[in-house]
Amino acid sequence: MSMQSEDEMENDEAEDAEEFPDLGFIKFEGDAVSEGWFDARKSANALLGLDEALRHYITLQSQDLSAIDFDLPVRISKGSWIASIPTDAITIVKVCGGIVATTYLSAGVKKIAENDFKDVSTKQIFQKAFRALVWTAKIGKHLKGMRKKQFTKVKFVDGGNIIAIPNDANEYLEVPKEYLDMYVTANPRLLRRLTSPINPDLRLVVSAQDENADLIEEISYGDKTSFSDDDPPDDQDILFPELLHGERFDLNGELTRGNKNANTFGFKYKGHILSSQPLTGSIVSSKDLIFGECTMKGIVDRINSDGVVGAKRPKLLYSSLLPIRQT
C-alpha cells in the first residue's frame, strides 16, 4: 500500500472540498483535536446543537420543512473536526458512501434534494439558516450575550437594509436587517449546546456561503459565556413557563378577537388570552376563523418592554393557523 506525503494529503483534502462544497459548516479546531480525536459526548452535543439552531431558522422560513430529517456529514481530519451540509444535497449520498466519516440524522435525502418549496428552493432555505446561525454568533459575541433583542441608538445603512447595533462599549456591528430580525426570534440558549465543547484548547468556527464572500465567525473560550446564559430570570409568576422564547409551539385554542391595525389575534389558551401575530402576512386572511377552535403553530416571543428576553406573558408568532373540525 502506497503512503501519501503531507502535501499530497492536503491536496486531496482541497479536492474533496471542491467536490463537496458546503452550504455551511461548523468546525472545532485546536490542540484538543490536534491528532484527529474528538470526544464522543462532545461530538454528539455539537451535532445536536447545530441541528437545534438550523431547525429554528428553517422553521422561520417553513414550518413544514422543519419536520423533515436530513443527513449531517461529519469530516474529521488532523487538527479539526468539521460538520457540514453539502451545497448539492444529492451529494450527501456520495459523501456517506465513504469519502466522509459518519452521519448523524436519519436520511431524508430525496425530500431535501427537491428543488422547489413554496417558490423558494430548499437549498436557499438551508443557506439562509446557516447565514442566520453565523450572524447570531456574531451578534452574541458583540453583545456578550443573547438576551437583548431590541436596540436604541441604531444606525441605518444602505437605505435601512443594514442596521448597525451598539454594544455596552458603544461599538457598532453592521447586520443585515433580515438576519437581525431572525436573531430576535432566537432563544438566548440557542447556541448553548453547540458551544458547550469549547475549552481553552478548543475553539469553534461557524461559516456559511454568502453572495460575495463566505461569512465566518470564531468563538473562543473567552466568548463561551456569551452563549451559555447560565443565569436565566426567575420563572416565578411567569405565565406558561414551558413556552420558552424562540422555541416552537403547537397549541390548540380559540381565536377570540382580531385587531387589524395591530395585526394581532387574541388566542384563548387554558383560560388565558394570549396575543398572537403572523410571522408573515396579515391576519385578514384568517379572519373567518375568529370565534372558532384552531391549531396554531409558530415561535414563542418573550421580549419585554426593556427589549430583552424575560416577558412574563408569552406572545405567539404563528406560521400556521388551522381550524379544528368538530365531529
pLDDT in tens, 218-263: 999 999 999 987 655 566 688 999 999 999 899 999 999 899 999 9
Closest CA to 208 of 11, 49, 54: 54
Residue 160 predicted with pLDDT over 70? yes
Question: What value does the mean pLDDT of the chain take?
Answer: 80
Please name every residue paired with 248 in a beta bridge, in sequence order, or none if there are none. Answer: 299
Instruction: Give 59's pLDDT tier (boundaries 50, 70, 90).
Output: confident
Whether residue 268 contacts residue 288, with contact meaning beta carbons closer than 8 Å, is answered with: no
> In the chain, what are the domains?
18-228 (no CATH), 248-323 (2.40.50)
46 φ, ψ to 5°? -65, -45
CA distance 292 to 272: 16
> Which residues, at least 6 apart from 161, have a Cβ–Cβ distance to it below 8 Å?
176, 177
Question: Which residues lie across from 132 on neighbouring strands?
Answer: none
Three-state DSSP class for 235?
coil
pTM above 0.95, yes or no: no
The distance between the two most distant Cα atoms of the chain, rounded to a whole number of Å, is 75
Between 148-157, 169-178, 203-212, the lowest mean confidence (pLDDT) is in 203-212
- HSE-CB for 94 with a 13 A CA cutoff: 11
The top-scoring range by mean pLDDT among 2-11, 78-87, 136-145, 312-321 is: 136-145
Q: Which of 181, 184, 204, 185 is nearest to 194 (CA)?
A: 204
Tell the residue number behind the cell numbers 376563523, with chain if given. 289
Where is pLDDT greater, at 127 or 14? Answer: 127
pLDDT of residue 280: 85
Q: Is 221 helix (H, G, I), strand (E, B) or coil?
A: helix
As given in the structure block, the three cell numbers for residue 302 are 418573550
